[in-house]
Structure 1
């Protein structure tokens, strides 16, 4: 075949991900698709992947994508005649301590929301399912009979065969040497002297994706690590199973191990705590179907764990220690989506050792995004727009990514945070927070103060009562009755200016933007389906000047949405996040403390208004609002004066509060948050925010929402028992069936039990007619807890 001069879509990468995207694009009717592979199909990470596929995952999104993958892999052979090697072996996950058992039970409960069949079993049953293991230290396990495994290369070949049958052209031994743009948009792919002009380009080339994206000036923060698994020669204990009989996949996460049978022997792999990063300059340019050197010194601690769990390994003859590179991301979730920097360039990678399991579902999600121009399913945790360019710093990737692999099997405790690549972005008052005893978590590159007090008030992490509960209670009390500083400087700030600023924002935002100067409007940004892309507050500083305050992880997605919406509007917008600090000052004494910092009179502001204010030696402005739901202000101060303002507030009697306190108060107040209750699949009507929609202004999504009758609603939930400690995603039951999931949860110091926000699709008539509806249950780690629900905020309706 001859390389074409033009293609509708060019996909770079012929592994399982690139083949899946091509297959799904073609299946959806897209034509004129080209796949370019620098070597042979499957020659990268795909060929040496272990091929394990587990349905139960820690999140709803991952669970949906993997379940689709499994269904697809079972169908591909019938469609294409190419075997995928799909074998339903089931999987067995062991627990050797109470927290691990709680974690795997939580996954079982989440799975029930999707109708997945999984069973909690004891050590004796685990031994029956996997006769080769030692179970003296096992306190429980989860048996998932519908899990299995595939042959990764065969899956990719089946996908490529299905794609070819639908007209996709695939070129092997075709290395991309450059990417072209016109007017900032992707326009072509260079292969030496040849150029394929393209309407859109997809990068799905595994380890090399970051470097290929950089050819177009796009950011794709991922990095490679060495990943090990051992293969043995045949073992009598495995041979005794008989031809065609397989052991379940074994997951011993407390020992950092996974295992399965392989050609009458065993495959034993690890996610070792001290992983090895891999700079790509260590790989030869023609690295293809290759492996890295064996490193038995590095693998030996994992081997010792394996010998304790599977004593038969002592008699095994090792066939090889496979060391293959894989790519990981900063937060251990894969990435996909359109590049925020380069329109028309789509990126997918950083699969974090779940590429085979995710390939089918993620390839479908990417194909639909390309065709629709925006995501068609809930993909926030994988959306590439969660990463700002600042996070694509090589030094941060080199430090963080080995920790990501090493903590792959960590329990996902509330409060868990990575230890490496810390301090990248710090608030202008960071030094003051450190001196006050702040405990920080890294979120989106920012150091965020979650609570105050010694480390003893933070550790140990737990799924039960956290060590910080009492300390956060003091901070909650300060937010109500005192004057508590909440550092919100990580919030994004975007300045919008120009003669068409008001009209542009009325198109972008659902709320009315034609407010008087000095007013603040709360709004959502919606997509064409009426789903929430972001929520924000908008300050009008002049006839053609606005300041948008968005969530700390939303700047990239909002800026992209603004570029897509601008069209002929005479308007400019600038990310000014680093230029200003935002200090929340919450509590009944907030005004008194603020007044004590200055000889100038603090303006008597109505809610959602702002005005200039002096704070000690600093000058900024104050807005009358608080994300806690309590009385107070948000103070906006130039970054270089933020520390002096902070010092003046402390001298006047202000105290500190962190994110855990504000989260508890937010949920009590029923305030929705993007990425939790608000998602691109949630409408303002479902969220109870339709009153903020200014119909008639022509905002994006308005036509879809006219006459919208929601089939589900966001509700406040209060548990009957103080023993219930939800985190998020737990299934909600009504009349014995799953009707929704928890979105956010926290301990309520007002009610001395957990309070949550969830979305439900049952009892909607009763919820409209009654203030409080009983009869709901929430399943947490396989135990159901009674709860009541209301459309109103918890603090207003639960006595």
Structure 2
């Protein structure tokens, strides 16, 4: 079979991910698909993956994707005749400290909401399930009987066989040497002198994906690490299980280990704290079914943990120490989607050692995205648009990725933040925040001030009442009765200009954009299904000039959607994020403090209006709005004047508050946030924002919302017990039935207990008729706490 000269879809990469995308595209009816593999199918990372598949995951999206994968792997042999090696063994996750036990209980609670069988067991039961382990330090464990394992190579081969049977052409030993574009859009794939003209190209090339994407000028921030596991020769303790019997997958995350039986012996792997990154430049050009050198000095600390947990290893003969490279991302979540820089180029990779478990579901999600032109399910945490080009800096990847692997088994505490590759993007007032004692977290490449108690008020991290509670309480009080500076400079700023600026924004956004100069519109950007793609405010600065203020992580996705929507509109848009600081000034004394900074009178500004102001030596403009729901302003200051403005505000009596304080106030005020209450699968009507949809303007998604009646709603929740500390995603019950999940939660200093926003699907009739509805239960780490709900903001309803 010779290479074609054209194809509808070309997939680059014949590992389990590439094969899954090809299979699902073909299964959805897509024709004329070509898959190219530089070596043989299953080479790269797939062939040496451990093949573990666990259903219980810390998020709704990951749980759904993996559950689909498991179902698929069980069905593929019937369909294709190719076994996948799927074996349901169950999995056992140990806890040796209270926080780990809390974490696994949280996962069990989330799993139950999806109907997954899971339970918390004691050490004695754990010993019965895994007889080889020592349990003297085990205080509990999670038992998930529906988990299992597969043979990764067989899964990839089954997927490829299913793809071939539906017409996919697969070419092995075919190295891609270049990518072509026409008018900025992907147009072809080069294999030496041969060109395949393509309607779309999918890169699923494992740890080489970043380099392949760069051929088209696209950014794919991932990097490889060495990943280790040992294989032993047969052990009599394993042989004693009997032919065909298997141990569950063992997860000892406090010791950085996982284990399973393997050919009558054991496979024991690790996510060691001091991981080793490796550049693809250090790998041979023909690296495919190869391994890296054994490194016993590096693995020995993990081996000591393993010997402690599984004493039978003392007498085991090690068959090999396998060292194979795997790719990871900056935030430990995989990535998929259409390149924001190159239309028609789709990217999937950085599987963070979960590629086998995710491949089925993620491959289906990617195929549906390619066909529909946008995601068909909630994929925000994996959406490649969360990464800006600035995050593809090689130095940042080299520094961060070993930490990502090393912290793979960390407890996901509130307040947790990576320590490497920090300080990449800093607010124009960063120096002033440092001087005020800010504690920062790295978010999306930015340094964000979360509170002003410093490290002493931050550690130790916990799932319980945090160290910073009192500190943040003082900041909340300042936001209400004082004048608190809230640094919002990481918010994106996009300038929109041109004769058709108003018409374009009316098509792009839900709210009416033909507003007076000096006014601000609160609005959303929707997809064709009516789901929220972005939450923003828009300022009108002139007849043909607007400024969009968008979430810190929304600039890339918004700019892409604007390019996709532009059509024939005579309009230009520019990312001007770095040009301006945004300084929130919240509290009853905000106007008093602002006036004290200037000899010129502060103008009277109506709500959602803006006007020029002087702040000491700085010129700026002030908007009468606040993300906290309290009195105050947003001050927009050119970056080069921002420190002068900040110094003047502090001298006039302003104090500081961080993201934790603004988050608490936001949730009390019922303000929705993108990525939490607002997602591409959530409509404005579900979020209670239907009033911001201007009928008749022809905005994208308007047709989908005609005669739309929401079957679920965002509500405010107030807990009855001050000991309830939700984080997010906790399942909500009403009359014993799961009715929804928490979307955001925080401690309320107004009520002295936790408050939350949640998406629920019942009882909507009672919520519409009654001010508050009692009787809800929220399951947090296997314990249920009662709460009341309302469609109104918590600070008004309770």
Interval of TM-score (by shorter of Structure 1 and Structure 2): over 0.9
Partner in structure 1 of residue 614 of structure 2: 614
What is the 5 A alignment of 1:335-346? 335-346=335-346
Partner in structure 2 of residue 304 of structure 1: 304
Partner in structure 2 of residue 3 of structure 1: 3
Partner in structure 1 of residue 716 of structure 2: 716
Q: Could you tell me which runs of 5 or more consecutive residues in structure 1 were left unpaired when the two chains were aligned.
A: none
Partner in structure 1 of residue 325 of structure 2: 325
Aligned mates of 1:498, 1:73 — CA distance in 2 = 53
Aligned mates of 1:741, 1:516 — CA distance in 2 = 40
Aligned mates of 2:740, 2:288 — CA distance in 1 = 46
Q: Deviations over 1:368-413 (max 9, x none)?
A: 0000000000000000000000000000000000000000000000
Partner in structure 2 of residue 419 of structure 1: 419
Partner in structure 2 of residue 633 of structure 1: 633
Aligned mates of 1:112, 1:341 — CA distance in 2 = 40
What is the 5 A alignment of 1:592-671? 592-671=592-671
Q: Deviations over 1:627-668 (max 9, x none)?
A: 000000000000000000000000000000000000000000
Partner in structure 2 of residue 205 of structure 1: 205
Q: Deviations over 1:175-216 (max 9, x none)?
A: 000000000000000000000000000000001000000000
Aligned mates of 2:561, 2:671 — CA distance in 1 = 23
Question: Is it true that 1:383 corresponds to 2:383 in the alignment?
Answer: yes
Aligned mates of 1:364, 1:375 — CA distance in 2 = 11
Q: Secondary structure at the match of 1:685?
A: coil
Question: Is it true that 1:226 corresponds to 2:263 in the alignment?
Answer: no
Q: Secondary structure at the match of 1:266?
A: strand
Aligned mates of 2:71, 2:739 — CA distance in 1 = 24
Partner in structure 2 of residue 397 of structure 1: 397
Aligned mates of 2:755, 2:164 — CA distance in 1 = 52
- How much has 1:112 moved relative to structure 2? 1.2
Aligned mates of 1:695, 1:745 — CA distance in 2 = 33
Partner in structure 1 of residue 448 of structure 2: 448
Q: Could you tell me which runs of 5 or more consecutive residues in structure 2 were left unpaired when the two chains were aligned.
A: none
Partner in structure 2 of residue 93 of structure 1: 93
Q: Secondary structure at the match of 1:686?
A: coil
Q: Secondary structure at the match of 2:220?
A: coil
Q: Secondary structure at the match of 2:686?
A: helix
Aligned mates of 1:542, 1:333 — CA distance in 2 = 41
Partner in structure 2 of residue 356 of structure 1: 356
What is the 5 A alignment of 1:370-519? 370-519=370-519
Q: Deviations over 1:72-95 (max 9, x none)?
A: 000000000000000000000000
Q: Deviations over 1:597-618 (max 9, x none)?
A: 0000101001000000000000
Partner in structure 1 of residue 181 of structure 2: 181
Aligned mates of 2:382, 2:542 — CA distance in 1 = 37
Partner in structure 2 of residue 586 of structure 1: 586
Aligned mates of 1:77, 1:146 — CA distance in 2 = 19
Aligned mates of 1:350, 1:111 — CA distance in 2 = 25
Q: Secondary structure at the match of 2:465?
A: coil
- How much has 1:626 moved relative to structure 2? 0.2
Q: Deviations over 1:674-731 (max 9, x none)?
A: 0000000000110000000001000000011011010000000000000100000000
Question: Is it true that 1:63 corresponds to 2:63 in the alignment?
Answer: yes
Partner in structure 2 of residue 733 of structure 1: 733
Q: Deviations over 1:527-557 (max 9, x none)?
A: 0000000000000000000000000000000
Partner in structure 2 of residue 522 of structure 1: 522
- How much has 1:313 moved relative to structure 2? 0.2
Aligned mates of 2:111, 2:621 — CA distance in 1 = 48
Aligned mates of 1:289, 1:279 — CA distance in 2 = 17
- How much has 1:281 moved relative to structure 2? 1.2
Aligned mates of 1:125, 1:114 — CA distance in 2 = 24
Aligned mates of 1:22, 1:516 — CA distance in 2 = 51
Aligned mates of 2:564, 2:791 — CA distance in 1 = 34
- How much has 1:453 moved relative to structure 2? 1.5
Question: Is it true that 1:570 corresponds to 2:600 in the alignment?
Answer: no
Partner in structure 2 of residue 773 of structure 1: 773
Partner in structure 2 of residue 193 of structure 1: 193
Aligned mates of 1:625, 1:487 — CA distance in 2 = 14
Q: Deviations over 1:142-171 (max 9, x none)?
A: 000000000000000000000000000000
- How much has 1:454 moved relative to structure 2? 2.9
Partner in structure 2 of residue 755 of structure 1: 755
Aligned mates of 1:687, 1:219 — CA distance in 2 = 33
Aligned mates of 2:139, 2:158 — CA distance in 1 = 41
Aligned mates of 1:140, 1:113 — CA distance in 2 = 21
Question: Is it true that 1:277 corresponds to 2:277 in the alignment?
Answer: yes
Partner in structure 2 of residue 106 of structure 1: 106
Aligned mates of 2:453, 2:671 — CA distance in 1 = 27
Aligned mates of 1:701, 1:381 — CA distance in 2 = 23
Aligned mates of 1:282, 1:581 — CA distance in 2 = 41
- How much has 1:288 moved relative to structure 2? 1.1
Q: Secondary structure at the match of 1:725?
A: coil
Aligned mates of 1:713, 1:288 — CA distance in 2 = 50
